[in-house]
Amino acid sequence: DTALPAAISPETVLKNVFGYDAFRDGQKDVIHHVCNGNDALVLLPTGGGKSLCYQIPALVRQGTAIVVSPLISLMQDQVEQVKALGVKAAYLNSTLDPALQAQIADQLIQGKLDLLYVSPERLRQYGFQQTLKLATVALFAIDEAHCVSHWGHDFRQDYRALGQIKANFPDIPVVGLTATADIATQSDILAQLQLNNPLVYKGSFDRPNIRYRVLSKYKAFEQVVSYVKQQEGSGIIYCNSRAKVDDLHAKLFRQGFRCAAYHAGLDADERELVQRQFLTDKIDIVVATVAFGMGINKSNVRYVVHHDVPRSVESYYQETGRAGRDGLDAEALLLFDEKDAARVKQWISQGEQSERNDIELQKFAAMEAFSEAQTCRRQVLLNYFSQFSDSACGNCDICLDPPTMIDGTVLSQKVLSCVLRLSQQAATQYVIDVLRGKQLRRLQEAGHHQLSTYGIGKDKSDSYWHNIINQLIHKGLIRVDITANAALRLTEAARPVLKGEVAIQLAVPRLEFKPDKKAKQA
């Protein structure tokens, strides 16, 4: 670049521009490789240090690095951050007025920029392609590279055209970067971007300081309140719709929590205010949709709660990964409910892009498997990203408090026969009300207080039965019929259990938060 002497080394830039003494794992190899004009794919978790992998080559190599980034707000932040270090950077997108856009294009052609951030649709435009031909391009960096693959959890049509870069600029290095990619997505990124003999660097995806917990969702609001009360510091609570975000936020706010809501339905000013309040610890909790988080650089988030199950392990990993970036103890809590899962599957099946539905269903199945795992959660997560680990982590709910298995045959028979007596027309809560013999008008009106199963489960709580029913669903003895108001139906497998021909092992329900946290850490 113009301001820097030629042949400056990556190590010098690291020190003089960014003020760091040493590269992190992977950065050095990738950066040298790209500086020498080669392609690379970098898979590093959020906070792993991906940006330097293209920012340093941008400064070492002649010309301007073109960085493709999907989010306008992210571009602005990144440009401001590097500008503060004295790097000549700009971004181009449709929010800028045309005169300014033209000015930036001129700067690009005249070689006055080290870094130029652009949206994928901008890169595709004919006019911009022509501008690029007049400029000296140091490299192309494709941020969030998983968006190029339809195997990824966040496929974007605009990213598809990025496959043309290599054809149009065969001699310019291309580096793809992502924090989430399963094996199928990884090889697809290489193929789609047509990377040439790339160095693939894959960092460890383990976040050992994050404790993973999954809890059977039952009276979610009370569970959230009791959880949040036990926490210190900042947290994010993810819900899967704007309406739920607003609702949960209003309830928490009324209870006196310092919280704010965040979703794409709020205008830009409001969202920015929430971000700033959260960053500066003016509020403790953000209740949000997935719109919150990308690019939020808050290192001391102590917990992330999923009020609703995410659609893929990748999303779950990315969202939980916002906790504990400072390396201190943090927690990820998922409230899982079989009914939610059934609903998600229905939404996916009704998706408009039917060719994607099967992929999404597979991805969701993996998320369900994680939620229902009876083995170390971290192992399940890491295995999903093909980082097989054969030792249990010691820092997840399963490791810390292994499920106790009991002979659940009688418990199962109680539930199954109650479902049967209710003609397989009743949903979970109704079945529980009958089992527990509740004095409810609707039961009496339907004559269900006279069933032989009325009250046979008095000795256990609602949440206990809820959990048992979920286990029976996981075991395939009951299914939730979402086309009939979530009525519980028996499957073929239920028959031998009802007849007492086979025994059923169940885990003792895990419903409460044990205040074991401090003790276990000590």
If 0-12 CB within 10 Å is exposed, 13-18 middle and 19+ buried, where does residue 499 land? exposed
Tell me the window of 138-146, 172-180, 335-343, 388-396 that interacts with Zn ion (CB under 5 A). 388-396
Binding ligand ADP by CB under 6 A: which of 17, 23, 398, 457?
23
Which of the 8 DSSP states describes residue 136? P
50 sits near Zn ion (criterion: CB under 5 A): no
* 8 A C-beta contact, residue 521 and residue 208: no
Residue 438 C-alpha from the chain's centroid: 40
User: How many residues of this chain bind ligand ADP (CB under 6 A)?
Assistant: 12
Residue ranges in 397-436 that form contacts with Zn ion under rule CB under 5 A: 399
495 sits near ligand ADP (criterion: CB under 6 A): no
46 sits near ligand ADP (criterion: CB under 6 A): yes
Ramachandran area for residue 19 (φ above 0: left; ψ -120 to 50: alpha; else beta)? left
Tell me the window of 49-57, 85-93, 118-126, 147-155 that interacts with ligand ADP (CB under 6 A). 49-57
* Residue 23 binds which entry of Zn ion, ligand ADP, none, CB below 5-8 Å type-dependent: ligand ADP
The residue (of 396 and 451) whose beta carbon lies closer to Zn ion is 396
Tell me the window of 21-29, 174-182, 236-244, 373-381 that interacts with Zn ion (CB under 5 A). 373-381
Give the phi and the psi of residue 57 in degrees, each rounded to 5. Answer: -55, -30
Tell me the window of 22-30, 209-217, 242-250, 495-503 that interacts with ligand ADP (CB under 6 A). 22-30
67 sits near ligand ADP (criterion: CB under 6 A): no
3-class SS of residue 488: strand
Binding Zn ion by CB under 5 A: which of 147, 259, 393, 469?
393
Q: Which residue has the tokens 């090889």?
A: 187
The residue (of 168 and 404) whose beta carbon lies closer to Zn ion is 404
CB burial readout 342-363, b (16+ within 10 A) else e: ebbbeebeeeeeeeebebbeeb
Measured from the CB of residue 512, what is the shortest distance to ligand ADP in angstroms?
35
Q: Return d(Cα 209, Cα 252) in angstroms, integer.
A: 27
Q: Return d(Cα 174, Cα 68) in angstroms, integer.
A: 11
Residue ranges in 1-20 that form contacts with ligand ADP under rule CB under 6 A: 20
51 sits near ligand ADP (criterion: CB under 6 A): yes
Picking from 44, 46, 57, 45, the residue whose alpha carbon sits closest to that of residue 18 is: 57
Residue 123 structure tokens: 């890169």
Measured from the CB of residue 353, what is the shortest distance to ligand ADP in angstroms?
29
Binding ligand ADP by CB under 6 A: which of 44, 381, 396, 478?
44
Binding Zn ion by CB under 5 A: which of 239, 313, 376, 381?
376
The residue (of 30 and 305) whose beta carbon lies closer to ligand ADP is 30
* 8 A C-beta contact, residue 353 and residue 325: no
3-class SS of residue 339: helix
Q: Which residue has the tokens 């911009």?
A: 128
Picking from 41, 437, 1, the residue whose alpha carbon sits closest to that of residue 202 is: 41
Binding ligand ADP by CB under 6 A: which of 32, 50, 150, 474?
50
3-class SS of residue 356: helix
Q: Show Cβ contacts of residue 28 under 8 Å, excluding neighbours closer than 6 positions.
A: 10
Binding Zn ion by CB under 5 A: which of 61, 88, 363, 378?
378
77 sits near ligand ADP (criterion: CB under 6 A): no
The residue (of 144 and 338) whose beta carbon lies closer to ligand ADP is 144
Integer Rg of the chain from CA: 26
CB burial readout 506-519, b (16+ within 10 A) else e: bbebbbeeeeebee
Measured from the CB of residue 328, what is the shortest distance to ligand ADP in angstroms?
15
* Residue 123 binds which entry of ligand ADP, Zn ion, none, CB below 5-8 Å type-dependent: none
* Residue 396 binds which entry of ligand ADP, Zn ion, none, CB below 5-8 Å type-dependent: Zn ion
The residue (of 286 and 393) whose beta carbon lies closer to Zn ion is 393
User: How many residues of this chain bind Zn ion (CB under 5 A)?
Assistant: 6
* Residue 428 binds which entry of Zn ion, ligand ADP, none, CB below 5-8 Å type-dependent: none
Tell me which H or E stretch contains 359: helix 354-372
Tell me the window of 47-55, 113-121, 189-197, 494-502 that interacts with ligand ADP (CB under 6 A). 47-55
Tell me the window of 46-54, 110-118, 149-157, 472-480 that interacts with ligand ADP (CB under 6 A). 46-54
The residue (of 48 and 63) whose beta carbon lies closer to ligand ADP is 48
Give one DSSP letter per residue of 228-286, joined into a string.
HHH--SEEEEE-SSHHHHHHHHHHHHHTT--EEEE-TTS-HHHHHHHHHHHHTTS-SEE
Q: Footprint of Zn ion on this chain (CB under 5 A)?
A: 376, 378, 392-393, 396, 399
Q: Footprint of ligand ADP on this chain (CB under 6 A)?
A: 20, 23-24, 27, 44, 46-52
